[in-house]
């Protein structure tokens, strides 16, 4: 990943955090990393923890398709590692926040 892509991704995550805050989410953690992978945003709302993958695109293709089965597997392994470190968390879900052409689409429970 080049610098241009990194900056675009960072700015997209900043916009995602602002979007979530407007929806009354509490941001718990950003870019949680483990040896298994990374979770972009961990947030909480109404006693539910949300493990959120952010995908952004400048083009016309659908960014949601970049969450491949392999990527989802990494997210789930990282989530399980996080839960081992935080055993009191029992109510959670995996979501996606897709950013395209200055609009967000929040997709809940992408593992169902």
Share of the chain above pLDDT 90, in %: 66
Residues 16, 52 contacting (CB under 8 angstroms): yes
Q: b/e for 79-90, b at 16 or more Cβ within 10 A?
A: bebbeeeeeebe
Instruction: Tell me what the mean pLDDT of segment 58-63 comes to.
Output: 70
pLDDT tens, position by position, 8-48? 777 888 999 999 999 999 999 999 999 999 999 999 999 99
State the pairing for strand pair 48-57/92-100: parallel
Q: How many domains would you assign to the chain?
A: 1
Could you tell me the maximum CA-CA distance found in the chain, to the nearest angstrom?
Answer: 41
Selected residue with higher pLDDT from 81 and 9: 81
CATH (domain of 57) = 3.40.1350.10
* Confidence class for position 99, pLDDT limits 50, 70, 90: confident
| Structural domain includes residue 68 | yes
Q: What is the C-alpha R_g of the chain? A: 14
* Confidence class for position 58, pLDDT limits 50, 70, 90: confident
| Structural domain includes residue 33 | yes
**Per the structure block, which two tokens stand in for 11?**
């700015």
| Structural domain includes residue 112 | no
CA distance 2 to 72: 23
Domain that holds residue 71: 3-107
């Amino acid at each position: 990943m080049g610098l241009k892509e990194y900056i675009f991704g960072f700015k997209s995550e900043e916009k995602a955090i602002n979007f979530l805050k407007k929806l009354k989410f509490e941001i718990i953690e950003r870019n949680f990393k483990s040896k298994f992978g990374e979770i972009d945003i961990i947030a909480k709302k109404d006693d539910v923890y949300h493990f959120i993958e952010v995908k952004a695109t400048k083009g016309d293709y659908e960014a949601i398709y970049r969450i491949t089965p392999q990527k989802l597997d990494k997210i789930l392994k990282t989530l399980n590692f996080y839960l081992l470190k935080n055993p009191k968390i029992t109510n959670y879900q995996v979501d996606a926040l897709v950013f395209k052409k200055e609009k967000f689409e929040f997709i809940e429970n992408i593992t169902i």
